[in-house]
């Protein structure tokens, strides 16, 4: 019978996921905010079709202000957690945040989320 990882091993691996989860929440809400105006303009500039964004924009339009607040809060929280993980010995050896590739990808996604949030705010 194969050895199953213990609960403490699984918990230590999932530790450090805060920055990643906050970043994903921020990007999702920033995408919804930018779907009405900024993303169709960017996609049209790149020669891509953006008709599929109409449904997302129609659903997200009434919730624009709460989505902006959620996105800004999530992205700021993700950045703070990522900074804290970098500055301290918070990450255990097997934790997700101990991998440099994950931290780098999280930082890039935070920047992408901030750009989407700005575009969604500025182009409405």
The 10s digit of each residue's pLDDT in 66-106 is 989 999 999 999 898 888 877 666 676 677 777 788 888 88
User: Does position 15 have pLDDT exceeding 70, yes or no?
Assistant: no
Structure tokens belonging to residue 107: 């930082």
Q: Which pLDDT does position 120 carry in this prediction?
A: 84
- In sequence order, which ranges of the chain are alpha helices (DSSP H)? 7-14, 18-34, 38-45, 53-60, 64-87, 100-122
What is the residue-averaged pLDDT of the chain? 79
For residues 28-37, average pLDDT: 83
Q: Which pLDDT does position 97 carry in this prediction?
A: 74
Tens-digit pLDDT profile for residues 46-76: 777 777 777 777 888 888 889 899 999 999 9
Q: Against a cut of 0.85, is the pTM above it?
A: no
């Amino acid at each position: 019978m194969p050895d199953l990882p213990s609960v403490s091993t699984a918990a230590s691996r999932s530790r450090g996921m805060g920055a990643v989860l906050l970043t994903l929440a921020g990007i999702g809400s920033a995408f919804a905010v930018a779907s009405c105006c900024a993303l169709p303009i960017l996609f049209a500039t790149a020669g891509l079709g953006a008709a599929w964004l109409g449904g997302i924009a129609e659903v997200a339009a009434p919730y624009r202000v709460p989505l902006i607040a959620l996105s800004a809060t999530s992205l700021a929280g993700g950045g703070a957690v990522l900074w804290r993980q970098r500055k301290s010995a918070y990450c255990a050896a097997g934790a997700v945040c101990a991998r440099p590739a994950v931290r780098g990808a999280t930082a890039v996604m935070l920047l992408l989320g901030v750009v989407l949030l700005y575009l969604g705010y500025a182009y409405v």
